[in-house]
Amino acid sequence: MKLADVAEAITSRFGGGVTERAEFRGELTLSLQPEALHQVCEFCRDELGFDFLLDISSIDHFEYEPRYEIVYELYSLENGLHLRLKTTATEDHPEVRTVCDLWPTANWHEREAWDMMGLRFAGHPDLRRIIMWEGYPYHPLRKDFPLEGKFSDVPDVAFTEPAPLAGGPFVTAPVEGTTEVREPRARRAGELPPEQAFIAEP
């Protein structure tokens, strides 16, 4: 079996559930409708031999919709093939169905995506934080979360305070304009003149 056969099998079976196909340097990526994700994953595992879930990651397309993209890296140990599946979730409904029932290793991957990005996975058996503590009110990998952090206080558990970045580094928002225009969050107004905006203090 080759990747071309995998792509043909999935697109033939699920039709409109596959919204895009991309091939680059021998890698195959299929973009899926969120409602088709679980069925496609089950088909890949049971009928195409993708028995190993390598990773689940997520991307925040801040200020665009759908805001979130969830990426699944699958591997077939028998055939030596790598397949990437992608789906999306909106800012108003950042949720997709869990794949823990297909690959138990998805458990911790999905917990990390919840903890860091705020994505929910319907049907997950134990969706709780895995890095930050329970009760922490933010999701630090979202692009609207500043690098300097935010104040938080969970009594008897932990607290955080902002850490000034002295002019850099920066997080950019995908909007028009220069870096100075795109990134107002990491530098407070008036702290540094524009010509020093990208130079961190020693």
At residue 174, the pLDDT reads 57
Residues 51 and 143 in one domain: no
State pLDDT tens for residues 60-73. 999 999 999 999 99
Residues 99 and 172 in one domain: no
At residue 161, the pLDDT reads 84
State the pTM of this model: 0.80
Residues 117 and 144 in one domain: no
At residue 170, the pLDDT reads 47
Residues 164 and 98 in one domain: no
Residue-number span of the structural domain to which 37 is assigned: 1-131
What mean pLDDT comes out for the span 129-145?
A: 93
**Boundary of a domain, candidates 71, 100, 131:** 131
| Domains in the chain, number | 2
Residues 102 and 187 in one domain: no
Question: Which pLDDT band, with edges at 50, 70 and 90, does 177 fall under?
Answer: low
Residue 200 in this model has a pLDDT that exceeds 80: no
Residues 168 and 81 in one domain: no
CATH code of residue 37: 3.30.460.80
Question: Which pLDDT band, with edges at 50, 70 and 90, does 183 fall under?
Answer: low
At residue 187, the pLDDT reads 44
Residues 151 and 81 in one domain: no
Residues 23 and 78 in one domain: yes
One-character DSSP codes across the chain? --HHHHHHHHHHHHGGGEEEEEEETTEEEEEE-GGGHHHHHHHHHHHS---EEEEEEEEE-TTSSS-EEEEEEEEETTTTEEEEEEEEE-SS--EEE--TTT-TTHHHHHHHHHHHH--EEET-SS---SSSPTT----TTSTTS-TT---EEETTTEEE-----TT------SSSS-HHHH--SSS-TTSS-GGGTT----
State pLDDT tens for residues 4-34. 999 999 999 999 999 999 999 889 999 999 9
Residues 58 and 25 in one domain: yes
Q: Is the dihedral of CA 138, 141, 142, 147 positive or negative?
A: positive
State pLDDT tens for residues 74-131. 999 999 999 999 999 999 999 999 999 999 999 999 999 999 999 999 999 999 999 9
**Boundary of a domain, candidates 109, 131, 153:** 131
Residues 125 and 156 in one domain: no
